[in-house]
Structure 1
């Protein structure tokens, strides 16, 4: 189950002409015991994150790799060079830092996109109209979230969110968005949780986003969600986490045959994040600060 994955492979609307510039002194954003989180400091660290993604998405979760991916054993695309890569590092492991990376999240700020290019989620959802409705807002796309199986614990997730919250504050982000995935490609088998999302997580009009017409499947077949408890139990932890933070779910879902998933779009205005979670991580992202 792709619990810790949000999005997949996308094409650019225009050629990529810029690359991430790495800060070799990028600070540690949080620490719990031997685990710490920070932004990748080098191309080697990004490559290690890509190898981790391949291990989780293609070897564990059985996504369909291209011949090139099978040879390189990397999950990579053209967007990697535009993004900042948030890492979780277990400093107690032997070897170099690249051998200690146990989790990663890919962060794409709106201003990092070249002229004429779209967010990668635009392959599945109509992101452009959302952005156009809010020209005064700063958008951050979250994607490629994954954690090694042995590290899928509350403290690892808390560290990832510590890093994201620090990043949001540092870059004055107003809106977070990205895909969350259900395992399976038959929306009928997901009728209960999809119906729950349709009834309980739809956004107000200003934050509405629709799946692309050619790919859209409904959030449930229109029937009422008969068992909210079972519906929530059937949802990936990542999705439930976004809902608890105050996230909305866009209109429609998209089936991704390559990854064997059914994807929904999460939109999370930073202003929606409840005071409970702001207090938990600190209004200055200081709770787990190094």
Structure 2
């Protein structure tokens, strides 16, 4: 994916536009490009199929550690699955039931739901409560468990996942999104260039500041700013984090090593008001960019 850093003059306040365009989509399909479409899971069977996709990516490919039951069932499952909405990307050209068509997934958790059910997943690694307390009038949404099967890791699929996230955020009046972005491996120093670039250039500050939990905090400030080659640093960033940066996201202070998933995590924070005008126009203030082809 091509990465563009945002010019601060191109960041606009979209909150008013969002409030005026919140509406339930006319169809359950949130977006479509050619044979790919995005929508929420409609059944337990589709959630199960999404968990199977997650298992293929996180366990079989990325070598995450899971318990015996998950290994036997070949499913990535946790307690948050039952309270989240599950965004799907489906390849409708694949014959069979919808469960056979799922090629990508994202897990969405709204603040009101999380507060009733015991909190956000990210709070196990980052001091989310402090961030939320600073914004009592805003609605937050956590994005997590993002994955796409290898053959579908294209710009088209990423665009559809964001189309689904954006349409969902509009429908529920979300003011800010956050979630973990991951680097492979459990040695942060192996990602010194990329982590230091994030620390020096897109660190969340002021009212949006958030840190890794003190007992888990690993410094991201591994290289001085003057030693960083921005072009090389950008090429070293995972595609998901690049995508968030393109939209105007910031990162929290400190990384966390997740030994279960064999990753080094940073917290992505994306206030809706930070979304670049060029991307707001691209996807549409009413999430209509890829929904116009939906019948």
Distance 2:56 2:223 in 1: 37
Is 1:252 the counterpart of 2:254? The answer is yes
2:274 equivalent in structure 1: 272
Q: Secondary structure at the match of 1:137?
A: coil
**Which stretches in structure 2 are left out of the alignment for 5+ residues?**
1-25
Q: Does 2:291 correspond to 1:282?
A: no
1:145 counterpart residue number = 146
CA positional deviation for 1:287: 1.2
- 1:212-271 Cα shifts (integer Å, max 9, x gaps): 011100013352342111111111011011111110110100011121111000000000
User: Any idea what SS the aligned residue of 1:179 has?
Assistant: strand
- Specify which structure has the bigger relative contact order, considering alpha-carbon pairs within 8 angstroms and separated by 6 or more residues: 2
SS at match of 1:113: helix
What is the distance in 2 between the residues matched to 1:142 and 1:226? 29
How far apart are residue 34 of structure 1 and its match? 0.9
So what's the TM-score if we normalise by structure 1?
0.89
Deviates more, 1:221-230 or 1:200-209: 221-230
Superposition TM-score, scaled by structure 2 size: 0.88
- Aligned partners of 1:287 and 1:113: how far apart in 2? 29
Give, in angstroms, the shift of residue 65 of structure 1.
1.9
Contact 2:83–2:117 under 8 Å retained in 1 = no
Residues 1:154 and 2:164 aligned together? no
Number of the residue aligned with 2:18: none
Alignment of 1:58-69 (within 5 A): 58-69=59-70
Partner of 1:12: none
Q: How does 1:164-183 map to 2 (within 5 A)?
A: 164-183=165-184
Secondary structure (helix, strand or coil) at the match of 1:169 reads: helix
SS of the equivalent of 1:216 reads coil
CA distance in 1, matches of 2:115, 2:134: 20
Q: Deviations over 1:60-116 (max 9, x none)?
A: 111112111101111011111111100001110011000000000000000112547
Instruction: Decide whether the 8 Å contact of 2:192 with 2:223 is kept in 1.
Output: no
1:97 matched to which residue of 2? Answer: 98
Secondary structure of the corresponding residue to residue 29 of structure 2: coil
* Cα deviation, residue 40, structure 1: 0.6
Extract unaligned runs of 5+ from structure 1: 1-24
- Corresponding residue of 1:185: 186
Between the aligned partners of 2:128 and 2:115, the Cα distance in structure 1 is 16
User: 2: distance between equivalents of 1:286 and 1:61?
Assistant: 34
Is the partner of 1:235 in helix, strand or coil?
coil
CA RMSD of aligned residues (A): 1.3
| Structure number with higher helix proportion | 2
Match of 1:206 in 2: 207
Write the deviation string for residues 164-204 of structure 1: whole angstroms up to 9, x where unpaired: 11111111100000000011211111111111111101122
Structure 1 segments (4+ residues) deviating >6 Å: none
Q: For residues 52 and 104 of structure 2, what CA distance do their matches in structure 1 show?
A: 11
Does the C-alpha gap of structure 1 residues 188 and 134 become closer, same or farther in structure 2, counting only changes over 3 Å? same
Correspondence for 1:79: 80
For 1:26 and 1:47, the matched residues in 2 are separated by: 23
Residues 190, 220 of structure 1: 8 Å contact kept? no
Paired residues in the alignment total: 266
Q: Which residue of 2 aligns with 1:111?
A: 112
Q: 1:123 and 1:277, CA in 2 relative to 1: closer, same or farther beyond 3 A? A: same
Partner of 1:10: none
Match of 1:243 in 2: 245
8 Å Cα contact 1:38/1:86 also seen in 2: yes
